Structure 1
Amino acid sequence: MDSSTSSTSSTSPTHLAGTVPAALPDLWDRLTGTQPAPDLWVVLATLAAALVLVVPHGPWRIARNAITIAHEGGHGLVALLTGRTLTGIRLHSDTSGLTVSRGKPYGLGMILTAAAGYTAPSLLGLGGAALLAAGRITLLLWAATALLLAMLVMIRNAYGALTVVLTGGTFLLVSWLAGPQVQAAFAYAGVWFLLLGGVRPAFELQAKRARGGAGDSDADQLSRLTHVPAGLWLFLFHAVSLSSLAGGGRWLLGL
Structure 2
Amino acid sequence: MTPIDGLGSLWDRLLGAQPDPPPLLVLATAAVALVVVSTRLPWRIARNVITIAHEGGHALAALLTGRRLHGIRLHSDTSGLTLSAGRPTGPGMILTLLAGYVAPPLIGLAGAWLLGGNRITLLLWVAVALLLAMLVMVRNAFGVVSLVVTGGLVLAVSWYTSPQVQAAFAYTGVWFLLLGGVRPVVELQRVRSRGRMPASDADQLAGLTGFPAFFWVTFFALVNMVTLVVGAALLAGPLLTDAGLHL
Normalising by the smaller structure, the TM-score range is over 0.9
> Equivalent residue for 2:36?
53
Which of these residues, 41, 58, 73, is aligned with residue 75 of structure 1?
58
- How far 1:115 moved relative to its partner? 0.4
The sequence identity of aligned pairs, in percent, is: 63
1:138 alignment partner, one of 121, 133, 154: 121
Note the residue ranges of structure 1 that are not aligned, 5 or more in a row.
1-17
Q: Distance in 1 between matches of 2:165 and 2:5?
A: 26
Aligned to 2:175: 192
Matches within 5 A, 1:231-250: 231-250=214-233
Deviations 1:42-62 (A, max 9, x none): 111111111121101121111
Q: CA separation in 2, counterparts of 1:37 and 1:171?
A: 21
Please list the CA deviations of residues 144-187 of structure 1 after superposition, one character each: whole Å capped at 9, or x if unmatched: 00000000011100001001100000111111111111111110
8 Å CA contact 1:74–1:116 kept in 2: the answer is: yes
* Letter aligned with residue 135 of structure 2: L
Task: State how 1:116-155 maps to structure 2 within 5 Å.
Answer: 116-155=99-138
- Residue 164 in structure 1 maps to residue 139 in structure 2: no
Q: 1:201 aligns with which of 176, 181, 184?
A: 184
Aligned CA-pair RMSD: 0.9
Alignment of 1:16-27 (within 5 A): 19-27=2-10
Structure 1 length-normalised TM: 0.91
Q: Give yes or no for the alignment of 1:222 onto 2:215.
A: no
**2:94 aligned with 1:114, yes or no?**
no
Residue 75 of structure 1 contacts residue 113 of structure 1 at CA under 8 Å; is this kept in 2?
Answer: yes
Residues 37 and 184, structure 1, Cα contact 8 Å, conserved in 2: no
The 2-side partners of 1:66 and 1:46 are apart by 17
**CA distance in 2: counterparts of 1:243 and 1:20, whole angstroms:** 46
Match of 1:100 in 2: 83
3-state SS, counterpart of residue 88 of structure 1: strand
Q: Contact 1:37 / 1:132 at 8 angstroms: preserved in 2? A: no
Aligned counterparts of 2:156 and 2:163: Cα–Cα separation in 1: 13
Partner of 2:12: 29
- 1-structure distance, mates of 2:3, 2:66: 39
Query: Is the Cα contact below 8 Å between 1:84 and 1:102 reproduced in 2?
Result: yes
Partner AA of 1:176 in structure 2: W
Residue type of the partner of 1:251?
Answer: L
Q: Which amino acid aligns with 1:27?
A: L
Give how far 1:37 is off: 2.2
> Structure 1 residue 251: deviation in Å?
1.0
The letter of the residue matching 2:234 is W
Local SS of the residue matching 2:2: helix
CA distance in 1, matches of 2:121, 2:100: 26
Q: Note if contact 1:223-1:233 (Cα within 8 Å) is conserved in structure 2.
A: yes
Return the alpha-carbon distance in structure 2 between the equivalents of residues 38 and 211 of structure 1: 45
Give the TM-score taking structure 2 as reference length.
0.94
The one-letter code of the counterpart of 1:79 is A
Structure 1 or 2, whichever has the larger Rg, is 1
- Cα deviation, residue 209, structure 1: 1.2
Aligned to 2:243: none
1:46 aligned partner, one-letter code: T
Whether 2:79 is the aligned partner of 1:87: answer no
Is there any run of 5+ residues in structure 2 with no aligned partner, and where?
Answer: 241-247
